[in-house]
């Protein structure tokens, strides 16, 4: 991973600051990558691939801020984090890909399909039926993708 960081360092030619390098132990990036991999083992690589030519630092920041600084925090367990995230993304209605990712992630760490279905139904009260329907359709897509793979 350190080697990868150094490789990323080459991107710095276009003018970005490097991620802080921590001389001993796990770096912020490594800690974030580890947390994110618990939700989906391919997602670190997916992020790197998707953004490597357009905005590699964005992928790094998702991992460092989203998953090292925040997701790894104590005080709220991972399942509750995913439930809250699913509710928020369903309420927003502007982040379908992210919602599907977090539905999969939630299922991967033990949130049940029924709990997710119920969060979507609950959202009808606070965000209205279109949000609840679109959230449920995201769940349906995730379920049918996973059953067909």
Question: According to CB under 8 A, which residues from 31 to 70 bind a copy of itself?
Answer: 31, 48, 50-62, 64-66, 69-70
Question: According to CB under 8 A, which residues from 70 to 99 bind a copy of itself?
Answer: 70-76, 80-81, 83-95, 97-98
Dmax (CA) for the chain in angstroms is 51
When the beta carbons of 95 and 109 are compared against a copy of itself, the nearer one is: 95
Q: Is 100 in the site for a copy of itself (CB under 8 A)?
A: no
Burial of 41 (0-12, 13-18, 19+ CB in 10 A): exposed
Q: Is 105 in the site for a copy of itself (CB under 8 A)?
A: no
Q: How far is the CB of 142 from a copy of itself (least distance, A)?
A: 10
């Amino acid at each position: 991973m350190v080697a990868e960081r150094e490789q990323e360092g080459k991107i710095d030619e276009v003018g970005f600051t490097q991620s802080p390098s921590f001389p001993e132990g796990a770096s912020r990036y490594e800690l974030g990558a580890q947390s994110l991999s618990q939700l989906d083992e391919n997602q670190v690589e997916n992020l790197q691939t998707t953004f490597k030519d357009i905005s590699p630092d964005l992928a790094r920041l998702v991992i460092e801020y989203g998953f090292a600084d925040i997701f790894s925090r104590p005080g709220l367990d991972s399942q509750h984090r995913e439930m809250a995230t699913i509710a928020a993304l369903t309420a927003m209605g502007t982040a379908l890909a992210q919602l599907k990712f977090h539905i999969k992630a939630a299922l991967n760490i033990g949130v049940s399909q029924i709990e997710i279905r119920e969060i979507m139904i609950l959202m009808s009260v606070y965000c209205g039926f279109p949000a609840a329907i679109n959230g449920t359709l995201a769940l349906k897509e995730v379920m049918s993708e996973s059953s067909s793979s």
